[in-house]
Copies of this chain bind each other. A is one copy, B any other.
């Protein structure tokens, strides 16, 4: 989902009354970022509080390449990483993930081995049919076992969000009166192929993507309502955000909006990583607030721990901030935002200034094949189709005056010099202290795909894996 997809963020069709109300009752962050322009690394960062370069969700197969966890990936979330649900256990929390996991699908990466108590969903994107003998499609799990796959059609129209939603209601109802709970509602309906349940199909002015947004909006609204009905609203912290910007490559039918920002998913421009972000906690977070805190999806890790009275592990670098001072007292904390692709720091924002050390959208070869992450946008020297090295003289934008990253500051200006010196010092500090994790997204192997997930026997859905041939994964963007 993109920054510009909610009414409260300026989507012209204004079809998100529930999320807009959530913002009106809580706090809206206009300057909130994912940890990566792609899903898996961003989700790994959410659950570890650490940049993908630290938690291993990156590749070194090529320079500045995005990578994720397709079915043939060998790696996944390392055991050495401590995930939010693991840590929350210490405070008695029961945790459930509903929807997309995407931190590896081999047995050792199973969410229930990493702190979650329950799972309903799928290891990769996206809920697919499981009937392809040449390439197994993606199973749906309940806890330890495959329970099937969702839809018989290549584009799943019927269940999807409504199932994920019912699972959420059930879990909330069960837990609200018992243990404290952590629900990670990882809905994937706005990822191509986008989908919505029947009551929402064709109801949006924005096409099927809008149908998906409307259904998510409706589900969130009903979850908040349930929290009120259960009298736990004032005791439940709810945060809504996305793992990367709208995938403009799927536009117009299957892509959302990044509002006024440049490009989208896959890129380290604002459209790729600036996200909608709403915090809601009646009686604690005052209604109708806007926080200009530079926020990160990784902050949800640290903030959630703080809410549970816990502190993050001290034996490792944690990138997430505790946002409670911003949420409860309106404070602003100075902090950088790092924009990575793989092991390459592409850009850094500090205050209002963003410095691009490298620019790239995708290769000319890909671009000529119609892969376009910036359709209709072309900022000379900025939305480049070759990897441009600006490390000696970064392109710097003022994001307040120029949120669309169209007008680099003049190298000769005092403003440029001042911003560069501030950012350089923060980047040096970051890089000197950085201990990269073991890269998890380098090796692919068809043998590790979902040929025979646990439970497949009962369903008669086991396939025979092919010979194991580990290969370097090919990451083209």
Interface residues of A (CB under 8 A from B): 4, 7, 9-14, 24, 28, 30-31, 204-207, 209-210, 251-253, 257, 259-260, 262, 290, 292, 352, 375-379, 382, 398-407
Checking B251, B262, B379 against A407 with a beta-carbon cut-off of 8 angstroms, the contacting residue is: B251
> How many angstroms from the CA of A12 to the CA of B292 in the assembled complex?
9
Q: With A377-B376, A378-B376 known to touch, is A252 a contact of B14 (CB < 8 Å)?
A: no
A4 (CB) vs chain B CBs: closest residue: B260
B30–A262 contact, CB under 8 A? no
Could you list 15 further interchain pairs (A-B, Cβ under 8 angstroms) beyond the known A4-B10, A253-B401? A9-B10, A12-B260, A12-B399, A12-B403, A14-B290, A14-B292, A205-B352, A206-B401, A207-B401, A252-B398, A252-B401, A262-B376, A376-B378, A377-B377, A377-B378
> How many angstroms from the CA of A215 to the CA of B405 in the assembled complex?
25
Can you name 19 A-B pairs with beta carbons within 8 Å? A4-B10, A10-B10, A12-B31, A12-B260, A13-B30, A13-B292, A13-B400, A14-B290, A204-B400, A205-B292, A207-B400, A209-B401, A252-B401, A259-B259, A260-B260, A376-B379, A376-B382, A377-B377, A378-B378
Shortest C-beta distance, A262 to chain B (Å), equals 7
A406 (CB) vs chain B CBs: closest residue: B376
Q: With A352-B205, A400-B210 known to touch, is A406 a contact of B375 (CB < 8 Å)?
A: yes
Q: With A260-B12, A407-B251 known to touch, is A400 a contact of B30 (CB < 8 Å)?
A: no
Chain B hits for A400, CB < 8 A: 13, 204-207, 210
> How many angstroms from the CA of A402 to the CA of B12 in the assembled complex?
10
> How many angstroms from the CA of A11 to the CA of B3 in the assembled complex?
11
Q: With A290-B7, A376-B379 known to touch, is A403 a contact of B14 (CB < 8 Å)?
A: no
Chain B hits for A402, CB < 8 A: 251-252
Q: With A352-B205, A376-B378, A401-B206 known to touch, is A406 a contact of B251 (CB < 8 Å)?
A: yes
Chain B hits for A382, CB < 8 A: 376
Shortest C-beta distance, A248 to chain B (Å), equals 9
Chain B hits for A31, CB < 8 A: 12
Chain B hits for A12, CB < 8 A: 30-31, 259-260, 399, 403
Chain B hits for A376, CB < 8 A: 262, 377-379, 382, 404-406
Shortest C-beta distance, A433 to chain B (Å), equals 30
> How many angstroms from the CA of A402 to the CA of B377 in the assembled complex?
14
Chain B hits for A10, CB < 8 A: 4, 9-11, 259-260
6 tightest Cβ-Cβ pairs between the two chains A and B? A10-B10, A205-B400, A376-B406, A252-B402, A207-B401, A376-B379
Shortest C-beta distance, A212 to chain B (Å), equals 13
> How many angstroms from the CA of A290 to the CA of B377 in the assembled complex?
29
A13, A257, A352, most chain B CB atoms within 10 A: A13
Chain B hits for A404, CB < 8 A: 257, 376
> How many angstroms from the CA of A377 to the CA of B28 in the assembled complex?
28
A257 (CB) vs chain B CBs: closest residue: B260
> How many angstroms from the CA of A11 to the CA of B30 in the assembled complex?
9
> How many angstroms from the CA of A209 to the CA of B399 in the assembled complex?
14
B262–A260 contact, CB under 8 A? no
> How many angstroms from the CA of A406 to the CA of B255 in the assembled complex?
12
> How many angstroms from the CA of A402 to the CA of B30 in the assembled complex?
23
Chain B hits for A375, CB < 8 A: 379, 406-407
Shortest C-beta distance, A242 to chain B (Å), equals 16
A14, A252, A378, most chain B CB atoms within 10 A: A252
> How many angstroms from the CA of A377 to the CA of B9 in the assembled complex?
21
